[in-house]
Structure 1
């Protein structure tokens, strides 16, 4: 028994040492709508920038007011931090000419990475004129943008089938996207099966897993219902009884995300995209545990 225990400890030590900065991270934020939210956002950006992310992205709602806020935050991130800042851009609410103008403005401002999305259709809307693959092609015609697109390991809620969804991703990649970032998930197997299916139909770009550190289980359930994401029973039981215990919820959420990243890293995944919800605490703690730290704090 003692020997087995020692072996288990050695395996654990090895798996943690393997991860020491062997992974790359990126972070997603959303535009703040109040002064308090703006202060929270900038505190988070300033803390997470010390981890030297590959890029940070800023989400975008389907109307021009939100787009202007996204644009402002993206430019401010670039000016204040020097990080590669990637705005989300959707195509369902703009003409091709408007999109070209936005693309030129971003490129001239030094914003060279874009997360290209179709965008949510308004209720009762007809079939869209443009899809994400059309937007990718348009952006690549304008300039050599570094383009990320969305992928759905558990299938897009509007897709006719898993195969149709996969082919839609292939069209985006073939149009010139550099990588796909997945919707958040908790079933690691679903991501690994999806990655295999992508490889099988010739998708060569990286499929970056999107990780959502959970601090509020009720919010998670709401997000999951919109996005067709399965919430496993084991995750439900992890958060049971913690409705009024934020500290323990944070610890549980961080622990779940760390385990997911460790398993995925062992499966050869090197890049991870964290949905921060504009908070830094969980993402920072997870990254620290996984060996992604400010340079001065990296052990020799």
Structure 2
């Protein structure tokens, strides 16, 4: 005979996103377009996200003249037409100190006051970074060099799950400390998918005497295969449960976007609950997922609170 007594309801709590005050700061990363169609997509994303009043938007940068020119043109246009504070990425790859000085001076003249300083990835997949004979050998050297050129605000990269080339987590943290000590103002993390990963990382940084702000980098997953490729390159771990949630959705883009938004929003809400109030979104030049997450965190257009 079954027990007629109904099971006790779980204790009720407020909805995850109920009445969040919107007390967050956000920034967005874009990449320079290669085609007219990509340019249209980028500018659509910039225009949709600009009303959220980002602290800054950044534009990625690669080795080689044409890529550098696209980055410079994109940064200039964002400043001129969107009136947003734009941060330009700058790397050590295949560039002498004189070349980097010339690029940095051009940025300063264009109104850029913020640089994301990176060592940069090797130009060949699976290759090893080789410093230019007359260039900077590390991001820490690049930061120090940029500070001598102009009083730039400088952000650098941090790796909660350890840079794939680091010999161990501690040497990676030591490298971050060198970048901060060289004059970097903040670190922006590589993307990750477990909130505890970020909080554990912050504890380790505090133990190492690193007190500069560390902003979590958020990658809303719009393309699962692409995310797997990115994760393999940078040493990030995609949890098994997350992989399973995307199974069977390759041909269902609407459902995939809903799942992606749910995962990313809950992830950011967990970071928020742990005290995070500054988020950096890797947009991949798409606005919808990043905008939805910001909205759920209480952020409204032009600085209004939720």
Q: Give the TM-score range, shorter chain.
A: over 0.9
Residue in 2 that maps onto 1:220:
227
Q: Residues of 1 paired with 2:138 and 2:262: CA distance? A: 37
Matching of residues 30-109 of structure 1 within 5 Å:
30-109=31-110
Matches within 5 A, 1:151-166: 151-166=158-173
Q: Which moved more, 1:288-297 or 1:191-200?
A: 288-297
In 2, distance between residues paired with 1:85 and 1:256? 28
Counterpart of 2:293 in structure 1 is 286
- Partner residue in 2 for 1:266: 273
- The 3-state SS of whatever aligns with 1:42 is helix
SS at match of 1:184: coil
- 1:196 equivalent among 185, 190, 203: 203
**Aligned equivalent of 2:18:** 16
Aligned residue-pair number? 295
Instruction: Report the secondary structure of 1:180's partner residue.
Output: strand
8 A contact 1:182–1:208 mirrored in 2:
yes
TM-score (norm 1): 0.93
Q: Which residues of structure 1 form unaligned runs of 5+?
A: none
In 2, Cα distance between the equivalents of 1:42 and 1:127? 34
**Partner of residue 145, structure 1:** 152
Task: Report the structure, 1 or 2, having the larger helix content.
Answer: 1
Equivalent residues of 2:188, 2:215 under 8 A apart: yes
Residue 41 to residue 2, structure 1, CA distance change in 2 (3 Å): farther
Question: Is the contact between residue 23 and residue 305 of structure 2 (CA under 8 Å) also seen in structure 1?
Answer: no
**Aligned pair partner of 2:244 in 234, 237, 247:** 237
Deviation at 1:2, TM superposition (A): 10
TM-score (norm 2): 0.92
Q: Do the aligned residues in 2 keep the contact of 1:92 with 1:131 (CA within 8 Å)?
A: no
Alignment root-mean-square deviation, CA = 1.8
Tell me the CA shift for residue 121 of structure 1: 2.0
> Which protein has the larger Cα radius of gyration, Structure 1 or Structure 2?
2
Would you say the 8 A contact 1:184–1:209 is kept in 2?
yes
- How far is the alpha carbon of 1:126 from its aligned partner? 6.4
Structure 2 residue ranges without an equivalent (≥5): 1-5
**Aligned partners of 1:278 and 1:265: how far apart in 2?**
24
